[in-house]
Amino acid sequence: MAVDRRKILLFGSAAALRFFLFSAFPLLPDLLTGRAEISTPVTSFKRCMPILNLAQYAELEIGHSLTLFAVQEGLFLYTHNVSPYDGGVFYQASTSVPHGLRDQADLQYQAPLFLPLFALIPSQLFSLVTALLYILADLLCAQSVIQLAESGVARSSRLFTSPRKHIKWDSVAVGAAYLFNPFTIATCLARPTSVFSNCAILYAIASAVNHRPAKSMLALALAAYLSLYPALLSPPLILLCYDESMVAKHPKPSITSSASKLSSFFIGSLSWFMIMSYLLTGESWEFLQSTYGVHLLLPDLTPNVGLWWYFFIEMFDPFRQFFLGVFWLHLLGYVGGLCIRLRKQPLFVLTTLVGLFAIFQPYPSISDASLYFAMLPLYSHIFPLMRYAFFAVATILYATLLGPAFYYLWIYAGSGNANFFYAITLVWSLGLSIIVGECLFAVLRDEWEIERPEMKGKDVRRI
């Protein structure tokens, strides 16, 4: 097997850059972890809590402060015979509760059998091992993106071949665009758990185009188990798996049988994760409310780059349930419409949904935007058709630079209010919306020029 030296150089330089930032600036990860743009209540690696909240569980002097990792917060409660899901701090899936403490106390909840990501890490090596773990996750994401670029499915699939398929980025360049994206690097340093959801999503899509539907559904089930919203990606991913199976298999499977098998496998895999969580938390279902209920009911209104938190702060309680339903139905409505209109390009449906989730999900962060930006270079052939690319990029840069300043003016300087930060998050969402809309226009224009080749290169106006 030939060794791609460019890929080795890319991965080596990206890993070296991240490791240098971790080691040369040891305070930088903790600084980024506390940023509202990167960490959310459901993905934060570390959350600060006053010791008063834990005084009843630990023999510590009130008056000091205690900083705990969100995973360690669950562990602290776990080792003191208290459910890690009591309170409003620990929102991780139950398999994130560390393992190996069954001999330390007479625990109310049995220790998990499924080894978590942070299990068995010695405290003195915790920072080093977690840094290496997140670097490895980024490299795995880049490998999945490179596989997608090498497959060429974005330009030519079973049902559609772009007339501009000759315009493409090299697969290594696509990987570099992900690995050296400042949003990706900042996310890696901040270590939110969304990195693992993104990794599972990209691996699921890469497995689909490489004719491995079972691995694809299993990876998507893991992503949905960690973050819930990736479950909405299952319809276009099933279509992508079916299209790839039609190319590779003989005899050809029917779409009904394929969809039912893949759906059953996805639901079965997700159910297996749920049952494991039920067993690992002492045969209790309370983790559902503390993990997925947070996404669905939005009890934590910590500021983030999304649109939900400020809206529901201002919302009167009698109307809260109604608008929660409206917001979720709005997000759900994109799935069916895009799958029907862009049936010929399921990979682009997945890309667009990832972009929409980065705007409209309850707890978005720049990690979700970095996932969308990772998939955009796969469609470099439609970039010439985009009309407002400069305006969109300028809007994103504007929000990126002013977002931290507005947050500082509100939270620390006290010279602003919540409107300062929410206004800049609206600008951020506007920039992402323009990019998503421009890509949709460009893909539809690309399809239309196949039907009307005489219109290629001519201006199009909406009447």
Q: Return the pLDDT at 62.
A: 32
Tens-digit pLDDT profile for residues 342-379: 999 999 999 999 999 999 999 999 999 999 999 999 99
Query: Per-residue pLDDT averaged across 428-439, rounded?
Result: 96
Coil, strand, or helix at residue 62? strand
Q: Which of 54-68, 241-255, 300-314, 420-434 has the lowest mean pLDDT?
A: 54-68
Task: Assess whether the previous peptide bond of 236 is cis (omega < 30° from 0).
Answer: no
Cβ-count burial 87-114 (b if 16+ within 10 Å, e if not): eebbbbbbbbbbbeeeeeeeeebebbee
Cα 421–chain centre separation:
22
| Helix ranges (DSSP H) in 251-303 | 255-280, 286-297
Mean pLDDT, residues 48-72: 37
How many angstroms separate the Cα of 158 from the Cα of each of 201, 207, 209, 376?
A: 22, 17, 11, 20
Structure confidence at residue 103 (pLDDT) = 32
Mean pLDDT score, 256-285: 88
Using pLDDT thresholds of 50, 70 and 90, give the confidence band for residue 400: very high
Q: What is the pLDDT of residue 252?
A: 74
User: Residue type for 365, please?
Assistant: S
Residue 368 CB contacts under 8 Å (≥ 6 apart), including other chains: 194, 198, 354, 357, 358, 361
CA atoms within 13 A on the CB side of 369: 29
The average pLDDT across 146-150 equals 95
Tell me what pLDDT residue 54 has.
Answer: 37
Q: If pLDDT is split at 50, 70 and 90, which confidence band does 41 have? A: confident
> What pLDDT does 55 receive?
36
Pick 208 or 455 by higher pLDDT.
208
Which pLDDT score, from 0 to 100, does residue 74 have? 53
Write phi, then psi, for 175 (nearest 5 degrees).
-65, -40
Residue 190 and residue 45 in contact, taking contact as beta carbons nearer than 8 Å: yes
Q: How many residues does the chain have?
A: 463
* The pLDDT of residue 279: 81
Strongest mean pLDDT among 98-112, 224-238, 251-265:
224-238
Q: Which is more confidently placed, 265 or 109?
A: 265
Residues 84, 97 contacting (CB under 8 angstroms): yes
Q: Residue 202: its pLDDT value, please?
A: 97
Rounded Cα–Cα distance for residues 87 and 81 (Å): 14
What pLDDT score does 52 carry?
Answer: 32
Has residue 215 got a pLDDT over 80?
Answer: yes
Instruction: Report, as an integer, the average pLDDT of 248-267.
Output: 86
Residue type for position 129:
V
Note the pTM of the prediction, 2 decimals. Answer: 0.86
pLDDT band at 94 (very low <50, low <70, confident <90, very high): low
Average pLDDT over residues 191-214: 94
Question: Average pLDDT, stretch 229-255?
Answer: 87
The angle subtended at Cα 31 by Cα 358 and Cα 185, nearest 5°, is 50
Confidence at 63, pLDDT banded by 50, 70, 90: very low
Which carries the bigger pLDDT value, residue 64 or residue 283? 283
368 in Cβ contact with 361 (< 8 Å): yes
Percent of the chain whose pLDDT exceeds 70:
82
